[in-house]
Amino acid sequence: MRALLDRLFPARAMREIGVLGMNGRNINYISRYNSRQLYPLVDDKLKTKQLALEHGVTTPELIGVISAQHDVRRIAELVKGHDGFCIKPAKGSGGKGILVVARVEDGRFFRTNGTEIPLIDLQRHLSNVLAGLFSLGGAPDVAIIEALIRPDEVFRDYSYAGVPDIRVVVFQGVPVMAMVRLSCAASNGKANLHQGAVGVGLAMDTGRAVCAVQRNRPVFIHPDTGHPLDGLVIPHWHALLELSCACADMTGLGYLGVDLVMDRERGPMLLELNARPGLAIQMANGTGLLPRLRRVEAEPRIVKAGVRERAAFAARHFGTRPAAIAAVA
Amino acid sequence: MKRPNRTAFFLLVAALLGAGAFLTWYRHVTFEVPFLPGERRQVWSVEAQIDFIAMGEAVTASLAVPGSQPGFELIGEHTASPGYGLAFVENNGARRAEWSIRRAEGRQTLYYRADMMVDPETLEDKVGVPPPIRQVVRDGGPQATAAAQLLQNAEARSANPYTLARELIHEFNQETQTARLLEQEKPRGEWLVELLNQAGVAARVVLALELEDGRRRQSPVQVLQVFDGERYALFNIRSGRQGQRANLLLWEYQSGSLLDVVGGRNSEVNFAMILQEVPINRMLEAGVLPAAQHFLDFSIHSLPLSEQTLFKGILLIPVGVLIVCFMRIFVGLRTSGTFMPVLIALAFIQTSLVTGLVGFLLVVAAGLMIRSYLSKLNLLLVARISTVIISVIIIIAAFSVLSFQLGLTEGLKITFFPMIILAWTIERMSILWEEEGPKEVLVQGGGSLFVALIAYVAMSHPVVRHLTFNFLGLQLVMLALLLVLGNYTGYRLSEFRRFRPLVERG
């Protein structure tokens, strides 16, 4: 009877691994460590960008902002001279409303998958953004036009029609867990796990892949390129850890998801911040968040330490043996 | 870094639970309200609200009031009329309540409430005295000929007084020309009585109320009362349908007026009614429903009936809200729009389940089709949603007309759905469809409907209705439950599925 219950409702096993659930995250971490008044800093990508600028954190190049309906007509003019760009709602969440134009040729626009997107559709998308279709609660919004990111060469074999981004969960200034999200055909070039992207957990000491999932199931090779995932190592890992610490410091949020990208020329850049980071990172890492969060909570000293020290703390304590993938592959 | 004060929180929860339990217990003990709707009789409380504008002089208002009748026993009457003198006058079988005051000015409101116990045993009983049969002799003229023709046709197809009445009404509906000619002289009801009398059948036009729980602002309907010896049947004078006696309360049955006001103008009467379940033992003790309200009686039974009927619905909402919270926090079901399921469930209560479900699915499906065209038109968001709202109204109107033409009067209930909610549902589903595909629409739409169904089952359950309406203290208990639920940090049921790979790998 007991065994059957444990099989049906594996609460005990999940507690042993330290899986953080949605309710636990909301009550014990988000509402306790993230003060409401700081949310706008991360919910509005424009504010995040300004903040990053003040703190010397690199972000993708801003081409322009469209904030009024009558400016929507100016989009073609605005992006002139750029051979690719991306439109983002400033207050969008979960990757909603992001439109990537990978190529501009003679005033014609093409998506990442090569299909043309007519100017009128581009303008409709902008009006939708302004009307608040993608923002939380439908509040009026502005559209940010950013230059495209050229992903680091490392990712060439691990990515299909999109930019891989690195999510680091930073707790009280200490990076506790990280994964890289690889877009693939199944996710339509999007790097969101619930849309079918591949999530690869990373060892905090080396930036090496430890384990990977797609749609909650383990995977060992990239579904489109066929490249084994265990060889993936994120370059400049320590710079990246320190950057994520710095991002947490500039917002003041205690439980934060930092999304970073590796640009070929400009190195690690801040893509966006998330005050309610999801739980899928645990699936990608094959382990729970709770032991790491409790480790940080048990050490109030490290919370007040400098960026370098905190990054080192993360590397020392949260490095995982790169065994899970290698064993099978 | 702020750690909420747990002690204060649990004290608050305990206080709410304590207060809720005490109020519930107090009401149970002091007022002998049972916890379960057990051995009880149904009592219809019907309240007449009289409004008029007094003209600054002496005012007399006289309202016809009902008495015990087959199927219903009058067990109590209450009036509320500040400053007015009141007398009950009985005049050969017709009872009237008469209010009077020396001087009144401005808007006046008088209340009269009758508590009628449903008594199925007397439903088939004999009735007292049928009205006298008056035979009018008409000396020719087109109307007399036409009326005689109608009567002759009806008589040929009938066997007894009841079938005669039914066929007569049928004749009136069929021979529209003749009917119009006759109705130029006097209303149909009077004609029916006259013709029935001519055929030797006693009949009269009475005012009756159609009883339906929780109705407000109702008007009495004219009903033809046809006697067969000492029994009678009731007929709708328009459709000819024989009325369900259990659902029709005769309010005025001496062919008199419903309300006379002297010294006032713009007078009107509105009726509100509510069905209560009263334990037999309490009725035996008190004889009537308790009229006096105690200070500590935190019940809404001290309010006028029309407000009570409102509250009967409102007090159910916390039950639905609690279910939604439980489903989201404990089970982890995704619904589109946080409390949309509660609103859908409320609509289901009004429409009845199957009609509501079919109607809801039809409207949303039709709306999604229209919306998929709208998304090609490149409209601004606000304009698009407004368009969807108007489309929803048109769809609802079309379905109502269609179902009525097909003879499905149930379909008319579709209008009970809140249109703005429907429009937003369609808009959200459509965006969901475009962004995440039809599967997510099914997951979230299905989730919402599932929660709505559970909320509907709970909110329409007799025990739940009885408890929420009679024990206001339970609202505090539900509040406490919600507070506790809001602090649940454990896993959701859906997370057992989600994180299962983690467990199996480790």
The CATH number for A97's domain is: 3.30.1490
Last residue within a domain, chosen from A114, A147, A180: A147
B146 in helix, strand or coil?
helix
d(CA B19, CA B471) in angstroms, rounded, equals: 12
Using only the alpha carbons of chain A, give its radius of gyration. Answer: 20
- Quick check: A288 and B502 CB within 8 A? yes
Are the C-beta atoms of B420 and B428 separated by less than 8 Å? no
Provide the number of structural domains found in chain B: 3
Are the C-beta atoms of B481 and B20 separated by less than 8 Å? no
- Quick check: A22 and B492 CB within 8 A? yes
Are the C-beta atoms of B222 and B189 separated by less than 8 Å? yes
User: Which of A138-152, A232-246, B203-217, B279-293 is least confident?
Assistant: B279-293
CA distances, B72 to each of A8, B75, B114 (Å): 56, 9, 11
pLDDT for residue B294 is more than 50? no
Rounded-to-5 percentages of helix, strand, coil across chain B = 50, 25, 25
Which residues does residue B96 pair with via DSSP β-bridges, in sequence order? Answer: B64, B89
Measured between beta carbons, which residues in chain B are less than 8 angstroms from residue A75? none
Query: Is residue A300 in some structural domain?
Result: yes
Q: Which residue of B has its CA nearest to A25?
A: B489
Query: Is residue B289 in some structural domain?
Result: no
Show the DSSP H helices in B231-380 as ranges: 280-286, 305-314, 317-326, 340-351, 353-374
pLDDT band with cut points at 50, 70 and 90 for residue A35: very high
Do A69 and A170 fall into the same domain?
no
Please name the residues in contact with A137: beta carbons below 8 A apart, sequence gap of 6 or more.
Answer: none
Do A141 and A163 fall into the same domain?
no
pLDDT, tens only, B456-505: 999 988 889 888 888 888 999 999 999 999 889 999 999 998 888 888 76
Do B216 and B331 fall into the same domain?
no
Predicted TM-score (pTM) of the model is: 0.70
d(CA A308, CA A242) in angstroms, rounded, equals: 6
pLDDT, tens only, B128-172: 567 777 777 777 677 788 888 888 888 888 888 888 888 888 888
Query: Is residue A46 in some structural domain?
Result: no
Please name the residues in contact with B460: beta carbons below 8 A apart, sequence gap of 6 or more.
Answer: B348, B349
Measured between beta carbons, which residues in chain B are less than 8 angstroms from residue A19? 491, 495, 499, 502
The token duo for B339 is 């409390």
pLDDT band with cut points at 50, 70 and 90 for residue B3: low
ipTM, 2 decimals? 0.82
Do A207 and A243 fall into the same domain?
yes
Please report the pLDDT score of residue B282 as a whole number: 55
Do B358 and B435 fall into the same domain?
yes
Positive or negative: CA dihedral A236, A240, A243, A249: negative
Please report the pLDDT score of residue B450 as a whole number: 92
Do B104 and B149 fall into the same domain?
no
d(CA B178, CA A123) in angstroms, rounded, equals: 67
CA distances, A202 to each of A147, A281, A310, A320, B97 (Å): 28, 10, 17, 8, 85
Query: Is residue A53 in some structural domain?
Result: no
AA identity, residue B187? P
pLDDT band with cut points at 50, 70 and 90 for residue B300: low
Query: Is residue B264 in some structural domain?
Result: yes
Do B57 and B86 fall into the same domain?
yes
Provide the number of structural domains found in chain A: 2
Mean pLDDT of A242-258: 94
- Quick check: A23 and B329 CB within 8 A? yes
Q: Which residue of A has its CA nearest to B487?
A: A27
- Quick check: A217 and B431 CB within 8 A? no
Do A100 and A208 fall into the same domain?
no
- Quick check: A254 and B487 CB within 8 A? no
pLDDT for residue B290 is more than 80? no
Residue B382's CB: how many other CB atoms inside 10 A? 12
Do B172 and B57 fall into the same domain?
no
Query: Is residue A235 in some structural domain?
Result: yes
Do B278 and B321 fall into the same domain?
no
Are the C-beta atoms of A48 and A40 separated by less than 8 Å? no
pLDDT for residue B10 is more than 70? yes
Query: Is residue B299 in some structural domain?
Result: no
User: Which of A45-54, A262-271, B122-131, B402-411 is least confident?
Assistant: B122-131
Distance from the Cα of residue A50 to its chain's centroid: 19
Distance from the Cα of A195 to chain B's closest Cα (Å) equals 8
Do A80 and A140 fall into the same domain?
yes
pLDDT for residue A323 is more than 50? no
Do A248 and A303 fall into the same domain?
yes
Do A32 and A65 fall into the same domain?
no
Chain mean pLDDT for chain A: 88
pLDDT for residue B120 is more than 80? no
Query: Is residue B449 in some structural domain?
Result: yes
pLDDT for residue B400 is more than 80? yes
Please report the pLDDT score of residue B128 as a whole number: 58
**Long-range contacts: B292-298, Cβ < 8 Å, 24+?**
B294/B30, B294/B31, B296/B26, B296/B30, B297/B27, B297/B30, B297/B31, B298/B23, B298/B27, B298/B472, B298/B473
Distance from the Cα of residue B411 to its chain's centroid: 17
d(CA B409, CA B386) in angstroms, rounded, equals: 29
- Quick check: B381 and A218 CB within 8 A? no
Last residue within a domain, chosen from A90, A117, A147: A147
- Quick check: B496 and A254 CB within 8 A? no
pLDDT band with cut points at 50, 70 and 90 for residue A319: confident
Measured between beta carbons, which residues in chain A are less than 8 angstroms from residue B487? 27
Query: In this structure, what DSSP letter does residue B435 have?
Result: H
Mutate which: B493, B503, B504, vs A, most A CBs within 10 A: B503
Do B346 and B382 fall into the same domain?
yes
Mutate which: B491, B492, B493, B504, vs A, most A CBs within 10 A: B491
pLDDT, tens only, B32-81: 777 776 666 788 888 888 899 988 888 889 888 888 787 788 888 888 88
Which residues does residue B332 pair with via DSSP β-bridges, in sequence order? Answer: none
Please report the pLDDT score of residue B287 as a whole number: 43
Query: Is residue B206 in some structural domain?
Result: yes
Name the residue with tokens 């859906």.
B494
B345 in helix, strand or coil?
helix
Distance from the Cα of B481 to chain A's closest Cα (Å) equals 16
Query: Is residue B1 in some structural domain?
Result: no
Domain of A296: which CATH number? 3.30.470.20
Mutate which: A14, A213, A216, vs B, most B CBs within 10 A: A14
Query: In this structure, what DSSP letter does residue A233 have?
Result: B
Are the C-beta atoms of B188 and B205 separated by less than 8 Å? no
Mean pLDDT of A313-322: 79
* Sheet of A85-89, strand order: A62-66, A143-147, A85-89, A99-101
pLDDT, tens only, A36-94: 999 988 989 999 999 999 999 999 999 999 999 899 989 888 988 888 899 999 988 77
Last residue within a domain, chosen from B265, B283, B301: B283
Do A203 and A314 fall into the same domain?
yes
pLDDT, tens only, A90-134: 988 777 788 889 888 888 899 877 889 999 889 989 988 898 878
Domain residue limits at B194? 142-243
Do A140 and A175 fall into the same domain?
no
* Sheet of A198-202, strand order: A217-218, A209-214, A198-202, A174-182, A165-171, A255-263, A267-274
Query: Is residue A49 in some structural domain?
Result: no
Q: Nearest by CB to B502, which of A69, A120, A286?
A: A286
More confident residue, B282 or A41: A41
Domain residue limits at A90? 61-147
Do A29 and A167 fall into the same domain?
yes
- Quick check: A216 and B501 CB within 8 A? yes
The token duo for B495 is 């997370």
* Percent of chain A clearing pLDDT 90 (strictly above): 47
Please report the pLDDT score of residue A328 as a whole number: 40
Distance from the Cα of B5 to chain A's closest Cα (Å) equals 12
pLDDT band with cut points at 50, 70 and 90 for residue B280: low
Indicate the helix (H) or strand (E) that contains B143: helix B142-156
pLDDT band with cut points at 50, 70 and 90 for residue B292: very low
